[in-house]
Each structure stands twice: as structure tokens, then as C-alpha cells.
Amino acid sequence: MAIGSNTNEMMSDINVTPFVDVMLVLLIIFMVTAPMMTQGVAVTLPQATSDPLPGQEEQLMVTIDRNKTVYINEEAVLFASLGEKVRGLTAGHPDRPVYLRADEAVSYGDVMRVMSQIKDAGVSHVGMVTVPFSTAEKQDDLK
């Protein structure tokens, strides 16, 4: 196709510039909004040196926040009814693990009381959720 010719041919090139512009705008929107979409209850987890466990489809997460409020997944529950609710959620799945997340400001005794409620509900596998140490923090703690 010659430039400046007066032929009535259709142009077969696709103009992708508007498509790229829209994609870049969407990318920027998602980059800005993604950090705002956090899930769960905010707790400061203790640090440990163990490797992470492989994830599963449906996880049952019990969380204790800084104010000693107990949550099952994201729903607040009373401590007195924790065992009953966990028993109901694990009925029919005796080997279903329950993961316990506790803020590092919560006392050891409070964590053990919640763990005892979970164990009394018939759960045989209770995992503790932590965050890994960085290498520099490991060296400082060993000194």
C-alpha cells in the first residue's frame, strides 16, 4: 500500500494504542487498590525459625487479637462458646487441622486456654501461625 495513493482499500492494521492505554490505567488502579484489600484480623505474629506449612483449600483459623478477642476465621466469638463452634465446624472431618494465630502481646496462658478449648472440641491437629525471622534478626538473637 503506497502512502498518498487514492485507492479505496481498507486498512487492515489494528490500532492497539487505545487498548494499551486502558490496560495501563487498569494496572495502576489495581496496584493502588491491592494493598487496601487485606483480609482477616490484624495481629502482630511472633517470629519463629520453622518452614511454612503447605496451604489447603479450606483452613480453619482461630485468631486472638491484642485485646484478647477470639475469632474463628473473621467472625468474633465468645471464649465460652469457642469449643462448641469449633466442634460444629470440624464435625465429620476429624483430621481437619485448626490454625491458631495469636498476637505476640497476648499472654502464654491465654493462648493455652484457647488451645485447650480447641483440643477439647476434638481437634487432633492444631498448628501455630508465626512469621519467619530474617537472617539479621537470627544473628542478633543468638548473641
35-83 pLDDT, tens per residue?
Answer: 777 666 677 777 766 666 565 556 788 999 989 899 988 888 988 888 8
**pTM of whole model > 0.75?**
no
Whether 123 and 86 have beta carbons less than 8 Å apart is answered as yes
DSSP annotation of 10? P
Task: Place 136 in a pLDDT band, splitting at 50, 70 and 90.
Answer: very low
Cross-strand partners of 99: 61, 127
Single out the residue of 77, 131, 72 nearest to residue 96, CA to CA.
72
Question: For the chain, what is the mean pLDDT?
Answer: 79
**pLDDT for residue 22:** 92
Whether the pLDDT of residue 4 is over 70: the answer is no
- Euclidean distance between CA atoms 133 and 65, whole angstroms: 21
- Give the H or E element holding residue 54: none
**Which tops the pLDDT comparison, 8 or 119?**
119
Residue found by looking up cell 491458631 in the block? 100
Phi, psi of 114 (to 5 degrees): -65, -45
The domain 47-132 having CATH identifier 3.30.450.20: the answer here is no
